Structure 1
Amino acid sequence: MSRLGDVFTFGGTEDKPSRWRRLMGMSFGLVYLFYPITDLTSGNVTGFKAYAEVAALLAFVGFYVATVMSPKNYGRPGRWTLPLLCLTALMAIVFPILFGGGWLALPIYVTVVISMALPMWPALAGMLAMVAVVIVDGLLTRADGATISLLLLQVVTLGVLFMSVRNTRTLVMKLHQAQGEVARLAAGEERLRIARDLHDLLGHSLSLIVLKSELAGRLSDQGSPRAADEIRDIESVARLALQEVREAVTGYRQRGLSEELDNARAALDAASVAVTVRMAGTPLPDALDGLFGWAVREGVTNVVRHARASRCEIIVAYEGGAATLEIVDNGPHAGPYEAGSGLCGLTERVEAVSGSVDAASHPDGGFRLRVLVPVAVDSRA
């Protein structure tokens, strides 16, 4: 829902349906005009005064309807609301004095409009003002105490009721807006997850397909029977990549460290990079196992694509108050390092669990990717 509402309503949230509902609600509310109408139809009022009362009654109903139907936001009167409301209130003050106690119900209508159209404190002040009007006009028209008391009760109860209705509808509309915003944020987060997963998945798989395709081409030129094996491996990697993409889109993909280490060995072997894997400490918990699996995939993909290395070492340790992963290669590296979208995505994942990522040249040459996650995070993951 893009807006809080164009008008105050007795029902409905959209402009046109709420207008019809307000008209229906007002038709029931006009019951308080029973006494002025009775004076006219009973013949108690005749001549010029009768015409004057008819004109006054039509004027009040017209301005009341126009005030209710004037565009406005909840608790924020529109351009014409206040002028129309002032005229309607003036009629509610003057007409009982001119035409008698049967018109003392008019402040009730004004109270309802004030309660729905104005913020809480101005609405409360307006309701108290209508209480004063009922008392003063009642005394001036010599209305009995029981009638004045009944009208006062109706002004107060209806005022409080409609202020509560207005506040409730405002909260409901804000809740709908908040729900819509949450849905938009969730959709954006899901798109980001899918984009990040697809980048990581396809980057690794396509790099491996390219390497094996090049190897199969060289073997085919040499007439080696291994070319057929490499082509079958390409088919297998392509099928696996397709399955992983589907799983990433549906959110079911779980990337275990051991699986990614096997994939890393295969990719590095196809790139003619000697790989050494070292493990230290106890097995990783599930949350870190999946995270480090992502890190291995991203790090090895970068080695295969960019490092031009002949040797790569992968070190995983879970001890000493932290879990660490290091991927070190001996490829040439010069100048400052610029992180790509894959490494940025990995950094977001690691920082989400209070970890850190360091990607820089290794002091002994080559390049090192280091992921550090505090052990205390595991209990929260």
Structure 2
Amino acid sequence: MTSLMPFDPERASSPTRWRRAVWTSLGLVYLFVWPASTVFGHGHSTGESVVRLVALLSYAASYIGLIIVNNPWTGITTRSAYVMLGVTAVLAIAYPIVFGANWVGLPIYLGVACAMTLPPRWAGRGVIASTALTFVMCTALGAEGGTLALLTFETLTVGLLMLAFRTSRILVVELREARGEVARLAANEERLRIARDLHDLLGHTLSLIVLKSEVATRLADRDVARSIAEVNDIEAVARQALADVREAISGYNQRNLTDELENSRGVLAAADIEVTVKTSGAPLPDQLDGLFGWAVREGVTNIVRHSRARTATISVHRQGATAVLDITDDGTAGEEPASTSGNGLRGLGERVALSGGTVEAGPRADGGFRLTVRAPIAAPASREPAGEPAS
């Protein structure tokens, strides 16, 4: 139970407070049995009866006032609630002393007030203190043994019962808030996944479209046929991008390593980059195959965008129980620190981390840039398939 739970104004709105006051005040009916039954009897003068009536009403008013200013379901005790609880406690002590043993039942309501007002970690102690007060008051005012036992037992049991009820309600409130927080975090996570998947899907394709558009523009004056071919390629790539987005939305898109390696040859060739692809070992599991497919796409996209390289190498092999993807180039992107911290590599790192792997990206000692992805072949279960974008 926490006393640091944020206060919810809706749960403490005026209609809710008054509704709570009406229902809780029904318990005050016992005041009209004892000590109310003695207000106008026992040979009291009219003045004494009026004083006792005013005292009884003031105690009822302080108790109801405490209910109105306090919201027990938040676990937070406000300053006004402490003040009203203090007033109720003073009256519960003073009135039995002033008016006699017929008023020793007032601490029962004080026990309930403590259970419903004090911070949860102090409420139980408040109930015990109210029980002790009932016992001391009954003893000091000469209450009969049966009355002493009955009132002491009622103060303890009713107070603990209300504390248990309050605790269960606070837990329900906390559970609802926790569910709301989980839903909010899940929505944020889903937004991050969608952003990452859109980057992975469209970043590569749009880069290729820009590259082929530049080639088509340069060839327009001297080689119309090849320029038209490049434009046709742009159309094909755009259609494929549209299909990829539709598949991603439907949740069926799966990046295949073999397809991505083959696609990378055409992309790099279009950028006049000579590429060497090396693969060894048995085929990777489907999840890891998809993960490395995304990594190849991201690595090739970065080479085309940033590297100004002449050659590139893509290597896939195994090291014991670990699969390794290594993408290198001889370009100048390694001289630009920002190239290692883009959204694509960050998103790739998140994907690989979900599969228990690591990503290393940075300049090589002999020039160029290196992207290395390592992941266990027997990958742990992750929250999302590594090669499958969010639906």
TM-score (norm 2): 0.83
Q: 1:310 to 1:25 in 2, by over 3 A?
A: same
Separation in structure 2 between the aligned mates of residue 117 and residue 256 of structure 1, nearest angstrom: 61
CA deviation string 1:29-66 (max 9, x = no partner): 11111223333467964412111111111111111122
What is the Cα deviation at residue 159 of structure 1?
Answer: 0.9
Contact 2:70 2:117 (C-alpha < 8 Å) held by counterparts = no
Separation in structure 2 between the aligned mates of residue 366 and residue 128 of structure 1, nearest angstrom: 74
Equivalenced residues, count: 375
What is the Cα deviation at residue 264 of structure 1?
Answer: 1.4
Separation in structure 2 between the aligned mates of residue 90 and residue 330 of structure 1, nearest angstrom: 84
1:368 is the counterpart of 2:367: no
* Corresponding residue number in structure 1 for 2:389: none
CA deviation string 1:307-360 (max 9, x = no partner): 233333221113533211122334356736441412232233334434333334
CA deviation string 1:350-374 (max 9, x = no partner): 3443433333444665433222223
Contact 2:5 2:76 (C-alpha < 8 Å) held by counterparts = no
List runs of 5+ in structure 2 lacking aligned partners. 383-391
What is the Cα deviation at residue 71 of structure 1?
Answer: 4.4
What is the Cα deviation at residue 103 of structure 1?
Answer: 2.6
* Corresponding residue number in structure 2 for 1:297: 297
* Corresponding residue number in structure 1 for 2:154: 154
Separation in structure 2 between the aligned mates of residue 332 and residue 50 of structure 1, nearest angstrom: 98
1:378 is the counterpart of 2:387: no
List runs of 5+ in structure 1 lacking aligned partners. none
Contact 1:4 1:170 (C-alpha < 8 Å) held by counterparts = no
1:59 is the counterpart of 2:61: no
Aligned-partner residue type, residue 146 of structure 1: G
Q: 1:364 to 1:38 in 2, by over 3 A?
A: closer
Matches within 5 A, 1:129-144: 129-139=129-139, 142-144=142-144
Contact 1:283 1:318 (C-alpha < 8 Å) held by counterparts = no
Bigger shift: residues 243-252 or 19-28: 243-252
Separation in structure 2 between the aligned mates of residue 123 and residue 333 of structure 1, nearest angstrom: 64
1:309 is the counterpart of 2:309: yes
Matches within 5 A, 1:1-381: 4-5=6-7, 13-35=11-33, 36-40=35-39, 45-71=44-70, 74-120=74-120, 122-139=122-139, 142-248=142-248, 252-332=252-332, 335=335, 337-338=337-338, 339-341=340-342, 342-362=344-364, 366-375=368-377, 377-380=378-381
SS in 2 for 1:180: helix
TM-score (norm 1): 0.85
SS in 2 for 1:222: coil
Contact 2:258 2:293 (C-alpha < 8 Å) held by counterparts = yes
Separation in structure 1 between the aligned mates of residue 233 and residue 45 of structure 2, nearest angstrom: 104
What is the Cα deviation at residue 183 of structure 1?
Answer: 2.6
Two-structure CA RMSD over aligned residues (Å): 3.0
SS in 1 for 2:79: coil
Bigger shift: residues 60-69 or 35-44: 35-44
Contact 1:284 1:318 (C-alpha < 8 Å) held by counterparts = no
Bigger shift: residues 205-214 or 315-324: 315-324
Contact 2:17 2:69 (C-alpha < 8 Å) held by counterparts = no
